[in-house]
Structure 1
Amino acid sequence: MSTPPATDPTAAPAWTVGDITVHRIDEVLLPPATGPWLLPGATPDIVAVQDWLRPHFADDEGVLHIDSHSFAFTVGGLRILVDTGIGNGKERANPAWHDLNTDFLRRLASAGFPPDSVDLVILTHLHADHVGWNTQEVNGEWVPTFPHARYLTSRTEREFWAGYDMEEAREQMFQDSVIPVEEAGLLDLVDVPAEGVDVVPGLRLLPTPGHTPGHVAVELTSRGRTALITGDCIHHPVQLAHPAIGACVDIDPQQSEASRRMLLDSLTDTDTVVLGTHFAPPTAGHVVTHQGAYRLSPVPADSH
């Protein structure tokens, strides 16, 4: 007797943006220690004051809920994946990322995006928890998971890391998750000017530097509706209440805060659906003004 799937394949959360359906492809809920490490300024006292963070984005003790997931959708006939998570079987210094064994690819296929069908992979930046499923191990070698796709990232991003004195763990990540894609001739670098750049009609990359120098957010538009995928410009909704809270791994903390404030200001009190790359369920929401800053007003996933 075959084992039934661990989750209902019809239950992959999705949001409708005009003619676009954006699917959240879950990888893993990160452990409680992630918050204090990643966002040290988000202390339990600060988190506790923001009632709206509970119960979805934090618990009663002020512990942040942080997710790893990707987003998949079709635009202009192209089947697109934004960021590829941590990946399976990767040697990582962070124990929460090390040697994972998740059913990410099955969830992706269940949402209608088997790896062979993906046309484009957009990488908001080149960090280990955003490029992991770029590759998978086949016969002892790391090969592109999406063999028919172009992989796209900012030219500024790739060139920065090319000149960076990498520590061993980051070098390992590039060797198993970035360089195999380059060697296969699948990585495309794009210049992203201040006003952003259209990849295809309805899909635009917006520069949000600071977390990394070439970091981009991804804007989707269809029939007058808009959604925005944050990448790591915003890691957690607590940063809406406190935009000055940055990540410990921000390359340029001041620039990261400036990008976050500019992005939030452009989104506030609009009907843009914000999809957080690390936001725990319900993941999506509208940015609204709140106590001199912002908060997230959740937008539930469509019911299918």
Structure 2
Amino acid sequence: MPHLAEQSRFTLGGTTITYLPDGYGAHHPDTMMPGVDWAAHPGSLADSLLVLTFGAFLVRTGDQNILVDLALGEMDVDIPGVARLKGGELLRSLAAEGLSADDIDTVVYTHLHLDHVGWTSDVAPVPNGPRTRTPTGLTFARARHLMAQDEWRYWSARTGELGGPDADVVLKPLEGVVEFIGGGDTIAPGVTVEDTSGHTPGHLAVVVRDPSGAGRESVFLAGDIFHAPVEIADPNLSFSSDVDPDRAKAVRDRVLERPDTVIAAGHFPHGVFGRAVPTGDTYTWTTVDGSPSSR
């Protein structure tokens, strides 16, 4: 078992942002991030694999319980030449916060890649796997389900594409339910979304601030703007699933320059809350307890 990010919390006034682990992926690094000189980034790989954590962020503000992304889902599968994917812990992580699926009133998707939609329905979207059950409903049946319209349109025209949302267990259960949001929209007091398209055509980030207005600090829930700390050390790198690599890089540059920002990077296995600290002409990822991670 690789080292995985643990359940953790960051607080802004009366608002809490909690990372809820679901599982992990052990990826072939040269498949996911081709051309990287991994020797120049010690500590980035574990047993020659790029380990990414899968999970969701729970934002509790006022009487609202918001989930940002729905992780991987219940699966344990090998994709030859790509990764081993293992998930299934999200509802147990949620229960550790004293909540059940019925307590969630809003789901926000940063985007619709496989590892961000896994708990959409009561059947996990196992890639290339046999379908043994038909979905009977949404996991978070009482919640609004929000995403960018460009994201929905893009994937609705590309059903069956590896890495995208499964048509039967993700897209169809959302038909007639999904609501569209865009950059600048407010989800709850102190919780807004930003257009960060590039990794996918409708990628969104969620920004959380203290709704009382006290303090300038914000938490930036980054989705797949960052997959690993190596992208903070070298923002010019591209991830294999970036639809528009140049635009994705421009978004990374913009986020790294944000002042007073804690980045919530849900794929980072050694801690998902941290800051990008300027170090010469680059940045170092430093977790919020002050312990540097991979460089």
Corresponding residue number in structure 1 for 2:242: 250
Distance 2:177 2:40 in 1: 44
Match of 1:261 among 244, 247, 253: 253
Residue 277 of structure 1 deviates from its aligned partner by 1.8
Unaligned stretches of 5+ in structure 1?
A: 1-10, 49-53
Residues 279 and 176 of structure 1, relative CA distance in 2, 3 Å threshold: same
Matches within 5 A, 1:70-85: 70-85=56-71
Match of 1:206 among 194, 207, 210: 194
Residue 66 of structure 1 deviates from its aligned partner by 1.7
Alignment of 1:12 onto 2:7: yes
Residue 78 of structure 1 deviates from its aligned partner by 1.2
TM-score of the pair, normalised by structure 1: 0.80
What is the aligned length?
271
TM-score of the pair, normalised by structure 2: 0.83
Which stretch of structure 1 is more off in the superposition, 236-245 or 165-174? 165-174
Corresponding residue number in structure 2 for 1:234: 226
SS of 1:72's partner is strand
Percent identity over paired residues: 28
Match of 1:26 among 8, 21, 40: 21
Match of 2:182 among 191, 194, 201: 191
Residues 43 and 69 of structure 1, relative CA distance in 2, 3 Å threshold: farther
Residues 285 and 62 of structure 1, relative CA distance in 2, 3 Å threshold: farther
Contact 1:72 1:113 in 2 (8 A): no
Corresponding residue number in structure 1 for 2:138: 144
Structure with the largest fraction of helix: 1
Alignment of 1:38 onto 2:32: yes
Alignment of 1:297 onto 2:286: yes
SS of 2:250's partner is helix
Contact 2:17 2:59 in 1 (8 A): yes
SS of 1:186's partner is coil
Amino acid in structure 2 at the alignment position of 1:208: T
Match of 2:170 among 173, 177, 183: 177
Residues 232 and 271 of structure 1, relative CA distance in 2, 3 Å threshold: same
SS of 1:28's partner is strand
Distance 2:159 2:288 in 1: 39
Contact 2:117 2:170 in 1 (8 A): yes
Distance 2:58 2:69 in 1: 9
SS of 1:135's partner is coil
Distance 2:261 2:161 in 1: 40
SS of 1:106's partner is helix
SS of 1:297's partner is strand
Contact 1:131 1:178 in 2 (8 A): no
Match of 1:159 among 136, 146, 153: 153
- 1:200-244 superposed Cα distances (whole Å, 9 cap, x missing partner): 221011111111011011100003231111100111111111111
Distance 2:87 2:226 in 1: 27
Unaligned stretches of 5+ in structure 2?
A: 1-5, 125-131, 291-295
- 1:9-50 superposed Cα distances (whole Å, 9 cap, x missing partner): xx832111222111111111321x3433222233322313xx
Alignment of 1:220 onto 2:208: yes
Residues 161 and 293 of structure 1, relative CA distance in 2, 3 Å threshold: same
